Each structure stands twice: as structure tokens, then as C-alpha cells.
Amino acid sequence: MGQIKSEIIAVGTELLLGQIANTNAQWISEQLALHGIDIYYHSVVGDNLHRVQEQFSQASKRSDVIIVTGGLGPTDDDMTREAFQRISNLEIVEHKPSMEKIMAYFTKQNSTMTPNNKKQARVFAGADVIENRVGMAPGMIVTHEGKTWVFLPGVPKEMKAMVSDHVLPFLAERTGSNMVIQSTMLRFTGIGESRLEHELQSIIAQQTNPTIAPLAQTEGVAIRLTAKANTHHAAIELINHTKEKILNKVGEYCYGVDNEKLEEKVFQLLQKKGWTLAAAESLTGGMFSDRFVAIPGASTVFAGGIVCYDTKVKENVLRISSETIQEKGTVSYECASEMATNISKLLDATIGISFTGVAGPDTVESQSAGTVFIAISTKTGQQVEKFTFQGDRKTVRSKTVMKGYELLFQSLK
């Protein structure tokens, strides 16, 4: 069979209420994509028999493979089997090996099994039953009217074991395709999404495999490259070829791939140069330092930081001149400059970085909310930049930290 349409249905009111995140669908989608199986729909439905039945009925009309997670437990609100029986009229029978396993569990726990636990051993007649190695309720694969239904428990560790051991091999055999889908993310800083897309317009227009998708994110911009091929190696080659074209045009802004973080790249550059870093933080309140010390081995290049939120701390600890504070203010080029220079001297670091500004919501020293000054000081020179960021206090502070890492990255390169 050729390419199949698949969808994932998660059953559980707790998902609709936001009490837990639907991480099952995300994980299953990632696994199916790696095996060249396209996902067309994700849906979540609460523990209501009529609505679950409606969702199943809709799925049966539009998809070839329907993967259902949740609703296989022992309680009254576990109604996945009952809903599917309504649209299929398949008989539900007790699966003896599963029943024996459930009974053995309660015997081992020296506790009495309640009658509703028998429900977990009930399966559709003729189903391919999937053993639950880490829990009780078995999974099932059912073929009905040319459609494949996969029923899995909602508990992530139980679901993942079944998908890895049983479902993926089954679907790979059914598709008759060895198609592999491989993705990678290129991460950029110092360039906006529209500018990045403009620079790469000719490459994007000509490219069909891999596909190129620019993505604006909270921390910079990313490009997702997705390639299809018959082997993992061939897919990687396709990606690398396009990646090279992209980096030839905008490589100066690229700091990493996949899950690499900008602060990690700064850390690597500092290590390579044998330099050390110190931070003076006013409005960021230690956020910059916190991100940096989260990196394993940060102590080899990070001398430390001072949170100088109060003006007296700037004067008495960082030794910012009283003339600068009185004449220029704490939110100024001059104050940021002295902060960066003095922190590098105080902590004997190669580079000092400073952050001062107004997080909001009120104006400070006639400077409006979102006004930020960042300075970088080295033995050979200094850079001081002014920015205006939009958003609430948390957003302004987060953007400031990321801009600091961006300036360091560009400076260290």
C-alpha cells in the first residue's frame, strides 16, 4: 500500500481541562514522521460516550489509520471500547492472558481485585492484542472496513512501549514503504523572520525536498528542513546539501542546530578563546547569569555576576560614579558602560556585560517602559547599545537577556 493518512485521537476530559498536556500525540507524531507516515489530524475528546463515538465516526471517513490513546482503564469514564463497538458492532471478549496478568498483579500486591478491573482485559474479537509490559490494560490493533484502528492506554510509558515494540513495525509492514522523514532545525539570531525569508527566497522557491519552513520563535528565528528519502542516510544528505546553500547566504546569523541554545554557543566560544565572563545585572535581576550557570562546565569561563538592582548597590558595590548617576541616570549609556567595565575589573574577567533599563510598567528617570541599555566591555574596547522592547515586565526582561547573548555571540565570533 502507498502513503497512508493517519490521525491521532486522545480520549480524556483531563486533557480538555488542561490538567495534563497531550504529550502522547506529540511523541507518536514524531515517531510516525520518522517512519514516513503522514499525520493529518490531532484531536482530543472528553469522556463522553456520544462525543467519543462521533469523533470515531468522523475519523473513519477521512483516515486510513486511527490511533486512539486513553479510555481503556477500569472505571466508568473509560469508554473507548464501548464507543468503537457502537460504530463497528464488533464483539467484545475477555482476553485470558491479560486477565491472568491482572489477577496475578493483585495477588502479588496482597490486595483484593475489584470487579471493574476485569474491564481492562476486554478486547475486540479478532483483534491483534498488544501485551502491556509495564501496566495492565492491553492495546489492540483492529482492522474494520479497510481502516486500521490502534487502541493504546493513555499512560505515556505504557503507550510508548507498545508503539515501539508493536505498532511501528506493524505500520511499516502495512505501508510497504521504507520512506524515512528526517528533520533538522537551523537556529538564527540577529535577523528577523521576514528578512531571513527574503534572503532565502530563491532557495525556498526552488526547493521541494527538503522543504524549508521559517519559524518565528520566542528566542530568535529557526528554519526547519524536512527531507523524505528511502534511507536515513539519504535524507541526511539531502538536508546537508540544502543546509550548505542556506549557510552560504545567511551563515553569519546561524548559531546552532536542533536543540542548541545561544548561551551554549557563547560558552563554547569563550572556552575556545580561553576568556572569562562577568555580568552586572540591574533590570534582568540575575536571569542572564542563571541561564549561563545552567550549562555544565560554566564555571570554567563564568567568573560570576552581581545583581545591582538598587542604586546604592551600583554605587557602593559596582563603584559607579555618583556624577554618572546624578547627571545621566542609572538608565543610560554612561551607566551601562561603567557597569560593564567595573564588573570585569572587580571579578577579573576578560569580558564584562551589563544590563540596565526599565522593565515597566512605569516610567523611570524619564525613560519609558521597555527602554534597555546593554554594554559589553573588553580590554580592547566597548560596545553600548540601546533597545526598546515591547511587552510586559517578564517579556522585556527575557528579550533583554536574549539580546545580551546575541551581542556576545556576534562579538566573540
In this structure, are 94 and 215 located in the same domain? no
Q: For residues 70 and 86, give the distance between their C-alpha atoms in angstroms, rounded to a whole number.
A: 17
In this structure, are 244 and 114 located in the same domain? no
In this structure, are 269 and 291 located in the same domain? yes
Q: For residues 51 and 26, give the distance between their C-alpha atoms in angstroms, rounded to a whole number.
A: 22
Q: For residues 307 and 79, give the distance between their C-alpha atoms in angstroms, rounded to a whole number.
A: 55
> What 3-state class would DSSP assign to 324?
helix
Q: For residues 152 and 275, give the distance between their C-alpha atoms in angstroms, rounded to a whole number.
A: 53
The answer to whether 127 and 159 are in contact (CB under 8 A) is: no
Confidence at residue 178, expressed as pLDDT on a 0 to 100 scale: 65
CATH of the domain at 113: 3.40.980.10
Confidence at residue 3, expressed as pLDDT on a 0 to 100 scale: 62
78-124: per-residue pLDDT in tens?
A: 899 999 999 999 999 999 998 998 898 888 888 888 888 888 999 99
Taking CA 5 as the corner, what is the angle to CA 40 and CA 31, rounded to the nearest 5 degrees?
75
In this structure, are 275 and 161 located in the same domain? no
Q: Which residues of 333-357 are buried (b: 16+ CB within 10 A; e: fewer)?
A: ebbbbbbbbbbbebbebbbbbbbbb
Half-sphere exposure of 218 (CA within 13 A, CB side): 9
Confidence at residue 1, expressed as pLDDT on a 0 to 100 scale: 45
The answer to whether 228 and 180 are in contact (CB under 8 A) is: yes
Does pTM surpass 0.85?
no
Q: Which DSSP string corresponds to 253-322?
A: GEEEETT--HHHHHHHHHHHHT--EEEEESTTTTHHHHHHHTSTTGGGTEEEEEE--SHHHHHHTS---H
In this structure, are 247 and 280 located in the same domain? no
Backbone angles phi, psi at 388, to 5 degrees: -125, 110
What total of structural domains would you count in the chain?
3
10-24: per-residue pLDDT in tens?
A: 999 999 999 999 999
The answer to whether 370 and 306 are in contact (CB under 8 A) is: no
> What 3-state class would DSSP assign to 229?
strand
CATH of the domain at 384: 3.90.950.20
Confidence at residue 308, expressed as pLDDT on a 0 to 100 scale: 97
CATH of the domain at 224: 3.30.70.2860
In this structure, are 123 and 66 located in the same domain? yes
Domain range for residue 349?
262-412
Pairing state between β 381-388 and 371-378? antiparallel
In this structure, are 134 and 268 located in the same domain? no
Write out residues in the chain with pLDDT < 50, as ranges.
1
In this structure, are 23 and 165 located in the same domain? yes
SS3 sequence, 86-145?
HHHCCCEEECHHHHHHHHHHHHHCCCCCCHHHHHHHEEECCCEEECCCCCCCCEEEEEEC
In this structure, are 117 and 240 located in the same domain? no
Asked which of 214, 233, 257 is the last residue of a domain, the reply is 257
Asked which of 257, 274, 304 is the last residue of a domain, the reply is 257
In this structure, are 281 and 365 located in the same domain? yes
Confidence at residue 177, expressed as pLDDT on a 0 to 100 scale: 59
Q: For residues 289 and 408, give the distance between their C-alpha atoms in angstroms, rounded to a whole number.
A: 13
Asked which of 257, 277, 310 is the last residue of a domain, the reply is 257
Place of cell 471493574: 116
In this structure, are 270 and 222 located in the same domain? no
In this structure, are 312 and 363 located in the same domain? yes
